[in-house]
Homo-oligomer: A and B are copies of this chain.
Amino acid sequence: MPTLRIALAQDNPVVGDLDHNADLIRRAASAATAAGAHLLATGEQSLTGYPVEDLAMRHSFVEASRDRLLRLAEELAADGNGSLPVAVGYLDADGPIGSTTGHGIRNALALLQDGKVLFRYYKHHLPNYGVFDEDRWFVAGHELHLARIGGVDVAFTVCEDVWGGVPFGVAAEAGAGLVVNINASPYEQGKHERRLTVVKNRAAGLGAPIAYLNTVGGQDDLVFDGGSMIVAADGSILASARRFAAELLVTDVECAASTGRDIANHSSALMSASLHVLSEEPATVETRVEPSFAPELSRHEEVWEALRLGLHDYVEKNGFPSVLLGLSGGIDSAVTAVLARDAIGGERVYTVANPSQYSSQHSLDDAADLAERCGLNHVVEPIQPIVDAYLSEIAVSGLALENLQARVRGVIWMSLSNQHGHLVLAAGNKSEYAVGYSTLYGDSCGGFAPIKDVLKTLVYELANWRNEKARSLGETEPIPENIIMKPPSAELRPDQLDSDSLPDYAVLDGILVGYVDGDAGREDLVEQGYPAEVVDRIAGLVDRAEYKRRQSAPGTKITVKSFGRDRRLPITNHFRGKPS
């Protein structure tokens, strides 16, 4: 059997920054050549970044992607890496935008060698659910390409192709000895395990190994978690790359030699196949590279790393010098501040305590304690004189007065942001955003909300896990125990507690998982054992919160479900999951 040395470039591109991304690919090619690789694969849309969203609709961007690909091929050759076949993900077009003729904008993979494009493959399965809108942007392709490399017929596929499966069926028919699958697959809890199951099943169906490459890095509200791997036909993992970090994974893989069968005769009704012969001579390696395996992460470490990387890349890719957040002495802003410290270092984190007449001394003390432990830049700016200035102008009471205090804080943070260039972080968690337990233009101010997709119960778990990790490393626990132990309160009126307004967070989070994430109806939730009156109240709060969130930006659609795009409900939603 030939032995292919496969290099997978698990890299972190920036959407739209073609030159930067091309440089990443060139560096990976030089490293792969130095390592003696027979083949290099880079991620889905590695040249353009993913997701390009509506940049796909801009002719000039599509042209720029196509042109940059040709230049990249020449640069690779000029770098001395011309003989290395390099798979590059990019944006292409073979027809106009919005075409319905089977041609149009393509999520493409090109194989480059000797300064030229050997072929262009167009992704077949286009995901159009959750955070994906690929039916909107792209037209599906119907031709699989195989390259004979070192005597092995290697098929090339993109991301969803491994979930949908049609190209893998054609690859099996064509007798592929290896399938490369390049991805930009965003992180969700439990997703990596689901990926592994899918890849193993496809490898078994194929009877050949799969080289699964994933992108890494944060892009807006998505986090790509890496975890690239090579999986054999028997389901064993031959090598794996780290999660949440860039890596060039180089692995020697024994692959079946080409059977030489006529591939054109093995096209299905859905896809044709074509073969490009690069090298017939069976590939060999002098000395086997030691296969590398990434450490497994605990559930909490995985979530923490996803949040940390997402925040880090949002700050760095957008060029912010620093972040600023209000530090209330509560659990949410504490966890957000520690995440920020872990992401970009405490010296770039600015925190403000904004006590009102309802703020407790322990909150101020706990905030200062945390800032001290983490080396943050911390100041105290009382808000009562400003609140009083408003009250001498307009009559405000009750909930409106609670919101006023939160908004005065928001204006202070935004003013400091405008003056000094900090990115404001909003410290809200998913549970409170879902039920609208926050103030529009108040504590929800900010350009990035690191824990917006974390339920309150998980916020507590993460706080405990992070302190435990510090203890295990012999470091100071970043979060004062008092912040974790005290009952949560917004401190916007005397003796206020979250539990005055909301059920126990374990109950609330359980209902939210069903109603928001699961699209469950009222009867489903009651059957799961939640009291009907609590279900009705929470569903009503979620629907009204949806409405309130949308108010934050006139006429826009805003979602709560998770990272990226999810739940979109009409604002005038008179249906409450309870058919009359």
Contact B441 A445 (CB under 8 A): yes
A522 sits at the interface (CB 8 A): yes
Beyond A128-B136, A318-B572, is A579–B390 a contact (Cβ under 8 Å)?
no
- CB interface residues, A 239-256, toward B, < 8 Å: none
Q: Contact between A415 and B403 (Cβ–Cβ < 8 Å)?
A: yes
Given contacts A553-B556, A558-B556, contact A519 B411 (CB under 8 A): no
Determine if A392 is an interface residue (Cβ-Cβ < 8 Å).
yes
Residues of chain B within 8 A of A579, CB atoms compared = 18, 60, 63-64, 67-68
Inter-subunit contact B412/A519 (CB<8 Å)? no
Asked if A513 is at the interface of the complex by the 8 Å CB criterion, the answer is no
A523 at the interface (CB under 8 A from B): yes
State the CA gap A49–B575 with chains docked (Å).
11
Question: Chain B nearest CB: distance from A90 CB in Å?
Answer: 13
Do B317 and A572 have beta carbons less than 8 Å apart?
Answer: yes
Q: CB of A549 within 8 A of chain B? A: yes
| A residues 407-432 touching B (CB-CB < 8 Å) | 407-408, 410-412, 414-416, 418-419, 424, 426, 428
Q: Does A361 contact B (CB under 8 A)?
A: no
| A1 at interface by CB-CB < 8 Å | no
Residue of A60, A383, A577 with most chain B CB atoms under a 10 A cut-off:
A60
Q: Which residues of B contact A575 (CB under 8 A)?
A: 15-18, 55, 61, 64
- The 8 lowest CB-CB distance pairs between A and B, nearest first, are A60-B521, A449-B554, A16-B575, A400-B418, A17-B574, A389-B389, A447-B551, A64-B579
Q: List 6 A-B contacts (CB under 8 A).
A: A53-B568, A60-B579, A383-B393, A389-B389, A414-B440, A446-B554
Given contacts A16-B570, A404-B415, 17 further A-B contacts (CB under 8 A): A19-B580, A51-B570, A54-B519, A54-B568, A55-B570, A64-B575, A135-B135, A220-B570, A220-B571, A385-B389, A386-B390, A386-B393, A396-B419, A404-B418, A407-B411, A447-B554, A452-B554
